Structure formats: structure tokens, C-alpha cells
Structure 1
Amino acid sequence: MTLTNKIIFSFIIFVSPLMVMPAAMANQNSVLGDTWNTLSDNVSQTWNEPQHYDLYVPAITWHARFAYDKEKTDRYNERPWGIGFGQTRWDDSGNWHGLYLMAFKDSYNKWEPIGGYGWEKIWRPLTDDNFRLGLGYTLGATARDNWKYIPIPVILPLASVGYGPATFQMTYIPGTYNNGNVYFAWLRFQF
């Protein structure tokens, strides 16, 4: 291969991808911008046009036994009594949008507040439209005693099963060994 061919080959392999990167990045920025606009519109609409108000009652926390030493799980609180309030909106597709604030007793039996926005895609698999299943996410912030109540952003999965105004909603907090890996569930009553 001659020097000229090596230069042309190097240009094609290493420089030509740089020419298409701005277009790819612009497309990515457009997708991120569209996602942000959809999210902020949904939060704003749920805040300004609630259809229902909700009472949240924390029900259970469960520390995944495979991810903890037994002496830790033996002393952790798994009955997170507390309370929360929120507001709900159902969109034209039947999906759930909610804004909420909740406080409950954490693993160390200390108060932990959490608040944010939640969204779930809703399925109604039975002929009875009162029964529903949901999968989605929540975005928000929490604060814990063992972290000096510094606000911590959260992005967590949501799942639910509901009938009429009552919903059993849950999430899983991922983590490392002896940290995180917690199933957390609550009841949500719609008024």
C-alpha cells in the first residue's frame, strides 16, 4: 500500500465518522428535548388539572435476603408505617400520572420523605374495567437520616395492581451487597 493510499484509507476510517457525528448528536438532542418537553408537560398538566386526590399508606419493605448479611436483615425495619398524599390524572390512553409526597419509617426506623412524579402504562386485561395492571417509573427525590437528609434524586421502576379506587403499588430499589436491593410497596386510595 502506498503512502497516498494509506492516507486516504486513514481519512476514510478515522475522519469520515467525525463528519456524521454532528447530525447524530443533533438527532439525540432532539430526542432528549422531546422527552423533556413531554415529561414537563405531563407534570404540569397533572399539577394543574388533577382528576383525583390520593392517600398513600406504606405497606412493606423487604430487603432481598440474597443481598444482605443475616445480622443486618434481622435488625432492619420492614414495616414502614407512614402516610402520603398525592394527586392523580388519567390521560386519554388510560395511563396513570401522579404527583406525590410520602413519609415513612425506613430500614433504621427513621423518617424518610419521598416526593415526585410517577407514570404507569395501564392494562385492563379483564372484561371488568375496574381491574388494572400498571408498569412505569417514578422520578423524584428522597432524603435519609443516615445520609444527613441530603436530597437524593431517584429514578425507580413502578408496578401496580388495582381495582376501583384502590391500588397496590410497588418499586424495587437496586443496590449493592448490604445496601439497596429493597422491595417497597404501598396502598394508594383514590378520592
Structure 2
Amino acid sequence: MSSKKKKLLAAVLAAWLSGPAAAACDDPSSFFGGVCKRLGDTWNQGQSELLLPLHSHHLRFAYTREKIDSFEENSWGLGYGRSRFDDEGNWHSLYAMGFRDSHAKFEPALGYAYQWMWGERAGLHAGLGYTVVVTARSDIGHYVPLPGVLPIASVKYRGSGVNMAYVPGGKGNGNVLFFWGSVGF
């Protein structure tokens, strides 16, 4: 299937799925209603964040030395997010960022993140959770959208922090720790 056909198929599928999901948002007792409320609360009540992609560390056991040497592990980029703490002290975020991937090509990412948090919000706190993300890469389907769910962790002090996502994989792919900074404003 050609790249144009794949993109068209993805757009048609997204449009088709959005109709029932949008209708279900009106019912707060439904699964989609709860998701819509969580996303809406995060966007409307959240604090703005500047996101700074920093580094992509390829776990050395999964790659040859030659492959490691070919990677660009500085993931410079920029992003924007909205985040909030819920009544239980857990963290929600909606975000979009763009950064340089391991092959020095542009990679966008758009998603929702959730973390169970420990520690004082006004001081040092840490979290573990997940992100539901859609990204696209030049070397996988020439930027066909790729959905995924990844584990994440963070250490934060007040409104700033260092965050990490783990991209699983096998021998010669994945197995990446992706680090980014966040600064609330």
C-alpha cells in the first residue's frame, strides 16, 4: 500500500471512530464520558508546561557498537503541555512535542499521560505511570501515525521536573529511555 493510501486510510479511520466517541462524551457514566471529562478537566484546569526533549538513551545490550555510534542521542526539540493534579494527588497531562529522533529526523508526539505521585507537590515528588501517545517516524511508514502506550516516570520539584518514557523493543530496535524536562508556567 502506498504512503498516500495509508495516510488516507488513517484519516478515514480516525474520522469514523470520532463520531461514536463524540456522542459517548455526552454520557458521563460511559467509559468515553469519563475519558472526555478527564481530558477536558486537564485542558481547562491544567497548568501550562514547556517541554524540553533532552536525550534518547539506547540500552547498550540491544545494539551493536557500530549501531550505537550511528545514533543521535541528543533529542533536542520543544513541546507544550497542560497538566494538573487530581483530588487524589495524581498527575494528568495533555502534551504535544517535536524532537530530533535517533536518526536526526523530526519526530512529533501527541498524547495523554497519567502518573501516580508520591511526595509533597510543593516540594520534591516522584511518579510512575503511563502515556497514551501517537507519534510518527520517517523510518517507519514514512510518518504514518503510530499509536502506543508506554510506561513513564518522573522526578519533580514544584513545577519543574525530569521525565522518562521507556520504549520497549528487541535486539536492534526499541529499548530506548527517552528523557525530557518540563517547566510549569
Bin the TM-score by the shorter chain. Answer: 0.7 to 0.9
Deviation string, structure 1 residues 93-116 (Cα, Å, up to 9, x no partner): 111111000000000000000010
Q: Which residue of 2 aligns with 1:102?
A: 97
Distance in 1 between the 2:44 and 2:154 partners?
Answer: 24
Structure-to-structure mapping, 1:66-77, within 5 angstroms? 66-77=61-72
- For 1:143 and 1:117, the matched residues in 2 are separated by 16
Aligned to 1:166: 160
Query: What is the aligned counterpart of 1:188 among 175, 182, 185?
Result: 182
Higher helix proportion (structure 1 or 2):
1
Report deviation, 1:58.
0.8
- Segments ≥4 residues shifted beyond 4 Å: 33-37
Say whether residues 1:41 and 2:34 are aligned partners.
no
1:155-178 Cα distance to aligned partner (Å, 9 max, x none): 001100010111111011000111
Match of 1:156 among 150, 154, 158: 150
- Number of residue-to-residue matches in the alignment: 156
Q: Report matched runs for 1:139-154 at 5 Å.
A: 139-147=132-140, 148-154=142-148
- Equivalent in 82, 103, 109 of residue 77 of structure 2: 82
Distance 2:65 2:110 in 1: 31
- The residue number in structure 2 matching 1:3 is none
Superposition deviation, residue 43 in structure 1: 1.4
- The change in CA–CA distance for 1:35 and 1:122 in structure 2 (over 3 A counts) is farther
* In structure 2, C-alpha distance between the alignment counterparts of 1:165 and 1:113, rounded to whole Å: 24
Q: Residues 113-124 of structure 1 correspond to what in structure 2 (within 5 A)?
A: 113-124=108-119
Q: CA shift at 1:129, angstroms?
A: 4.0
The structure 1 residue matched to 2:53, chosen from 52, 58, 64, is 58
Structure 2 CA distance, aligned partners of 1:93 and 1:109? 40
Please state how far the C-alpha of 1:90 moved relative to its aligned partner. Answer: 1.2
- The separation in 2 between residues aligned to 1:65 and 1:144, in whole angstroms, is 22
Aligned to 1:136: 129
| Bigger-Rg structure (1/2) | 1
Give the TM-score normalised by the residue count of structure 1: 0.77
Supply the RMSD in Å over aligned alpha carbons. Answer: 1.7
Name the counterpart of 2:9: none
Shift of 1:48: 2.9
Q: Which runs of 5+ in 1 are unaligned?
A: 1-32
- CA displacement at 1:41 relative to structure 2: 2.5
TM-score between both structures, scaled by the size of structure 2: 0.79
CA separation in 1, counterparts of 2:59 and 2:32?
33
Q: Which amino acid aligns with 2:173?
A: N
Q: Give the CA deviation at 1:88.
A: 1.0
Shift of 1:40: 3.4
- Residue identity over aligned pairs, in percent, reads 42
